Amino acid sequence: MRKTIIAFVGGMASGKGFAAEILAEQGYSLYVLSSRVKEQLVSQGIPETRESKTWMGNRLREEHGADALMAMTDQLVKEDPNSKIVVDGIRNKGEIDYLQREYGKDNVFTIGVEADFELRWERIQKREREGDPETREEFGRLVKIENGEGQDKFGLQVDACMRRANITIENNSDNPADLRKKLMDGLVTLGIEGQVNQRERR
């Protein structure tokens, strides 16, 4: 079965998770790469923090390849009868390479979600999620790490992954309807949604 894969990449509190959930509501099957990391932490009795998740994700990629988290998740994707798949949490270029290799470049669409630093920090404070940074300075340090500072080929590469996105959505509004519209418009632009009807009207 031909599958359409939409992969989201973005920094902390950019809104990529919410964007993925919007598509899940539209009938896409949603898979979150960080779930593989959390499963490993739980199995080894390691407390879940932002630091431990980064460490475990890097460790899995070092031991099993840069595409390790995507390869582990793909076992579930291949068993899924749904042809419309969303992958949330791309953080290494190897994960994009894996999807394109397994499903073909024409069937894989990477969408970047970005937001201003200060707005993301405000969101971090409001959501009070376990493991999130508690100070602006700590948030800034973690943003540099997730963007690739001090990371090798098995580490976090959000910035490099964003550069490979087919489209990038700016999410500087806290109105969910704004992100929803931009996302659905983006899917039309990519030819994923709405294109057949548009051709019929010509």
Q: Look at residue 200 in the predicted model and tell me its pLDDT.
A: 32
Q: Look at residue 64 in the predicted model and tell me its pLDDT.
A: 97
Residues 6+ apart with CB under 8 A from 188: 194, 195, 198
Q: Look at residue 122 in the predicted model and tell me its pLDDT.
A: 96
pLDDT of 171 higher than 90: yes
Edge-to-edge, what's the strand order for the sheet holding 84-88?
Answer: 29-32, 84-88, 4-10, 108-114, 167-170
pLDDT of 202 higher than 60: no
pLDDT of 176 higher than 90: yes
The two structure tokens encoding residue 74: 């793909």
The two structure tokens encoding residue 140: 């800034």
How far apart are the C-alpha atoms of 53 and 105, rounded to whole Å? 29
**pLDDT by residue (tens digit) across 110-155?**
999 999 999 999 999 998 887 789 999 999 999 999 999 999 999 9
Q: Specify the 3-state DSSP secondary structure of 164.
A: coil
Give, rounded to a whole angstrom, the gap between the first and last alpha carbons of the chain.
29
Summary mean pLDDT of the chain: 93
Q: Look at residue 88 in the predicted model and tell me its pLDDT.
A: 98
Q: Look at residue 34 in the predicted model and tell me its pLDDT.
A: 95
Radius of gyration of the chain (CA): 17
Model confidence band, residue 51 (pLDDT cutoffs 50, 70, 90): confident
Q: Look at residue 1 in the predicted model and tell me its pLDDT.
A: 80
Q: Look at residue 168 in the predicted model and tell me its pLDDT.
A: 98
Bridge partners, 15 (sequence order):
none
- The amino acid present at 178, given as its one-letter code, is D
How far apart are the C-alpha atoms of 84 and 2, rounded to whole Å? 9
* Count of Cβ atoms closer than 10 Å to residue 127 Cβ: 9
Mean pLDDT score, 176-182: 96
**pLDDT by residue (tens digit) across 61-82?**
999 999 999 999 999 999 999 9
Mean pLDDT score, 21-25: 97
Q: Look at residue 128 in the predicted model and tell me its pLDDT.
A: 80
Q: Look at residue 179 in the predicted model and tell me its pLDDT.
A: 97
Q: Look at residue 77 in the predicted model and tell me its pLDDT.
A: 97
pLDDT of 196 higher than 70: no
How far apart are the C-alpha atoms of 5 and 23, rounded to whole Å? 11
Architecture, CATH, for domain 4-182: 3-Layer(aba) Sandwich (3.40)
Model confidence band, residue 190 (pLDDT cutoffs 50, 70, 90): very high
